[in-house]
Amino acid sequence: MKKHKIHELTCLYKSMVKLTAQRERLLNILDYDITKGIDMYTFKNSVPRFSLEDPEFIGKVFQFYSTNNYLTYEKFLNLMSSIENNDLEGKIDFFFKITDDDRNGYLESTEIYQTCMKILKNIVRKGDDDDEDLLIDYHHNLLNVFMMQLERNMMVIKNLQKYIRKI
C-alpha cells in the first residue's frame, strides 16, 4: 500500500475511533478504552461504500477481522487493504475468507449458496422476488457443477485458488 493511502486510512481510523468513543460514552459504556479500536456501527456508517452494502455482509466482514467486536488499527488496515486490493489473487483470498463461515478451510455448498444469495439480492431490484430466486438458484447451480468437477461437494481453498490462478 502506498504512503498516501496509509496516511488517508490512518486519518480515517483516528476519526472513527473518536466517533466510537463518543458513541460509547453516550451509551454509558464506561469501560471503553480508545485502544480497543472501532465498533461495527461506526465502521459501517463511516466508510461510504459500506453504508449501501447488506448489513449482514458488513457484519460478517467486520466479525472476521475484529477482536472482541472492535477493529484495531492493524486489523483496520488489513481489512481495508483486502477490500481495496486490485489483483485477482487478493480478491480471491478475500472472497474465500469471508465465504468460509466455519473457517474449516473448505467451501461448502450452503456457504456458497448463502454468499450468492446475499450478492444477488443487492443486484436485483426490490420487489422482484421470483426473478431474484431464479437468479440465485441459477448461480448456485452453476457453482455446484463447478464444485462437483473439482471434488465432490467440497473444495480445499488452497487447491481452488491454484486452479483459478491457472485460468
pLDDT digits (tens, 9 = 90+) for 127-150: 555 666 676 677 667 666 666 655
Mean pLDDT of 98-103: 82
pLDDT of residue 97: 81
Q: Are 135 and 107 in contact (CB under 8 A)?
A: no
pLDDT of residue 76: 93
Residue of 53, 24, 30, 106 lying closest to 62 (CA atoms): 53
Q: Round to whole Å and give the CA distance between 98 and 64.
A: 7
In degrees and rounded to multiples of 5, residue 105 shows phi and psi of 90, 0
pLDDT bin (cut points 50, 70, 90) of residue 13 is very high
**Domains parsed from the chain with CATH numbers:** 3-83 (1.10.238), 88-166 (1.10.238)
